[in-house]
Amino acid sequence: MEDDNLQQHSTALLTAWEDGTLSYHDAIVQFNALRGEAQTRGQTEDEAFLESRLGVIEGYRGNYVGSIAHFERARDLYLRANNRRQVATCTLNIGETYRLKGNFARARQYFRIGLDAAVELGDRELQVLARTNESQMMLSQGNAAQAEANLRECYALCEEPFPVPPGVPPEVVVRNQLDQRADIAHALATLYLDSGDIEQAWYFAQEGLKLATLLQTDLRIGFAYRALGEVVTVLEHPPEPPLSSDPDHYFSESIARFKAVNAEGETSRTLFAQGRSLRRRGRQTQAARKLHQAMIMFSRLGMVDDAAKAAEEQLKLL
């Protein structure tokens, strides 16, 4: 970054949006104002940083086309500034957005490019990010064995402090590492749930909640509550207090957290997860309603893979 004050302001804005104290609209207005300021001053890296933050916000909102456009502009600006690490980061973000959209072929291309760049740079943090994202794509495609091996290795790597790259504040690296651990814990909870290893699924769902609580962001807490709702649905024995034994409690909390930051894509995924849970509990009418809501949102947001899964789940109600 070329302006430390702008970096601090940008980071504070993103944190305020993540923890729900700043609305989506206000975040966009303020980020656009800062971006205009950076453009006026000719601060290329500052402008790139702000473009990437806008990409993050739009991605969680479910505006994947807009998110990709922001990340592409950020990548081009970082290329101009010869910041190879941030070019690789933006490349991985583009790949992750394509994964969330369900375009796995495009996602794989960007993950490979990003991973190659991370290896060339010797950057462990970026290598873990690239492998985690690609593993979650493998999981979506049914390649659980390879995904598990990669995710377990990445989770172990996250337990050792990441090196601090030049120009990056140490506290940012620490927080990113914590966020990556939470992301991997959520992915592992999902993986073990799908494979029927409920004990491991429950362990990682609880780990995800612990890490999300440390991060104190609506997004991570929303992911953690969704995983808990899914696992509690199939637990043989109810969890011990203070944890609730009602899956709908967790799904409601997850939806509330995602709605607080306008994360429409993740809201729709939680509706889908709740619909599946309700079907398993024999509440067919309520399940149909939730799945229908999810299907409408998936279609509107262009989430192709999720829409196909929702259609399959709806057929099970017939």
- Rounded to an integer, the average pLDDT of 200-204 is 98
Residues 221-247 pLDDT 10s: 999 999 999 999 999 999 988 899 999
User: What is the number of residues in the chain?
Assistant: 318
- Evaluate if residue 168 carries a pLDDT over 90: no
The pair of structure tokens assigned to 7 is 């970096």
Residues 283-310 pLDDT 10s: 999 999 999 999 999 999 999 999 999 9
pLDDT band at 80 (very low <50, low <70, confident <90, very high): very high
- Rounded to an integer, the average pLDDT of 30-46 is 92
Angle at 207 between CA 279 and CA 287, to 5 degrees: 10
pLDDT band at 3 (very low <50, low <70, confident <90, very high): low
pLDDT of residue 292: 96
What string of DSSP letters covers 256-316?
HHHHHTT-HHHHHHHHHHHHHHHHHTT-HHHHHHHHHHHHHHHHHHT-HHHHHHHHHHHHT
User: If you average pLDDT over every residue of the chain, what do you get?
Assistant: 94
3-state DSSP percent of the chain in helix, strand and coil, to 5: 80, 0, 20
